[in-house]
Structure 1
Amino acid sequence: MIENLKSLYFDQLRDLYSAETQMIEALPKMMAQASHPDLKDAFSDHLEETRGQRSRLEKICARHGIQPAGETCDAMKGLVKEAEKHGNETLPGSVRDAVLIAAANRVEHYEIAGYGTAKCYADVLGFDEDVKLLDETLEQEGAADKKLTKIATGGLFHDGVNEAALA
């Protein structure tokens, strides 16, 4: 039962833990479906980051004497299900890569919102160490989002996945 900001904060931590756990399961599948080497590398790198993010949540929960498991992040479940559906309905190649990037960007935006909210609650509650750990994750999620967007749109001297998907 959520009775106050502290119990809401703990609920949010469990929700984020569930989300990260689901992504640890989903990222290898997304990596296998990707064809662009930069996208495969981005998913591989973010898988390692995601494991670290989940570990930070475990540290925060241990500090407060709560179990991180026990909540199911239905939003992440839906995002993963949608990514799988669209990935399976798209032929391999640049269009599927564009689908995977779009799905991954949605996940990153969801996680940025979730971690931003949790960080705000931790700050109000005076959990300064939690704020530092949550901020570290927020920075990683933002960087992952930017990296995916760069792969989609390309850089100064090359076209991105989205451009290749036009063909």
Structure 2
Amino acid sequence: MSIATLKDLYIDQLQDIYSADKQSLEATKKLRECATSETLKDALDAGTDGIKQGIEKVRGIIKTHDADPTDEFCKGMEGLVKEAHAHAIDADNIKDEDVRDASIIAQYQRMTHYGIAGYGTAASFARRLGLEDDAKILRDCLDNTYGGDRTMTDIASGEVNRQAMA
């Protein structure tokens, strides 16, 4: 797709978010399988549900603009998923399960921060383009993503990091 206008860039960014969310969904499921803290597992389950909702919402927005959600592959999230594998999912060098839980949170939050940047940018573009319905949906996705990030911070500082130090 040629990008000549802000609208073109907006659609490209939405497709990037769609790809990023699909990749992070699979990684989050794998992170959940590796987690040992029940609180962390529950938060990752909620994260999985939130990512699924984001995928559907972004897919719907893209379709309203007569575009294909799959026209973009997010290389940024691809790298973050590789990092999640290296530092949590497949990290044979992490022997302590509490330390692994701390690493799972770190990797999940890196993916979440990418999502925050994507949703925030897309919502800003939507507002500038006068696409208020899109902007509201994207703002809701952004707020949900922020909420997931705050939950992980709370779990890390309240339970997981303390146990990883023991």
Tell me which interval the TM-score lies in, with the shorter structure as reference length. over 0.9
Are residue 91 (structure 1) and residue 115 (structure 2) matched? no
Equivalent residue letter for 1:116: G
Q: TM-score, normalised by structure 1?
A: 0.94
Contact 2:27 2:84 in 1 (8 A): no
Structure 2: any 5+ residue segments left out of the alignment? none
Partner of 1:80: 81
Instruction: Give the Å deviation of 1:48.
Output: 1.0
Instruction: Give the Å deviation of 1:92.
Output: 4.8
Instruction: Give the Å deviation of 1:91.
Output: 2.3
Equivalent residue letter for 1:13: L
Partner of 2:136: 132
Instruction: Give the Å deviation of 1:165.
Output: 0.8
Give the Cα separation in 1 of the matches to 2:24 and 2:116.
Answer: 14
Give the one of 102, 115, 121 matched to 1:117. 121
- Overall identity of the aligned pairs, in %: 41
Give the Cα separation in 1 of the matches to 2:15 and 2:161.
Answer: 35
Structure 1: any 5+ residue segments left out of the alignment? 155-159
Aligned counterparts, 1:10-159, within 5 A:
10-87=11-88, 88-89=90-91, 90-154=94-158
Contact 1:34 1:92 in 2 (8 A): no
**Could you list the per-position Cα deviations for residues 19-48 of structure 1 after superposition, in whole angstroms to 9, with x for gaps in the alignment?**
011122111110000010011111111111
Equivalent residue letter for 1:3: A
Give the Cα separation in 1 of the matches to 2:107 and 2:140.
Answer: 23
**Could you list the per-position Cα deviations for residues 124-146 of structure 1 after superposition, in whole angstroms to 9, with x for gaps in the alignment?**
00111100110110010000000
- Tell me how many residue pairs correspond in the alignment: 162
Give the Cα separation in 2 of the matches to 1:102 and 1:23.
Answer: 14
Give the Cα separation in 2 of the matches to 1:114 and 1:28.
Answer: 21
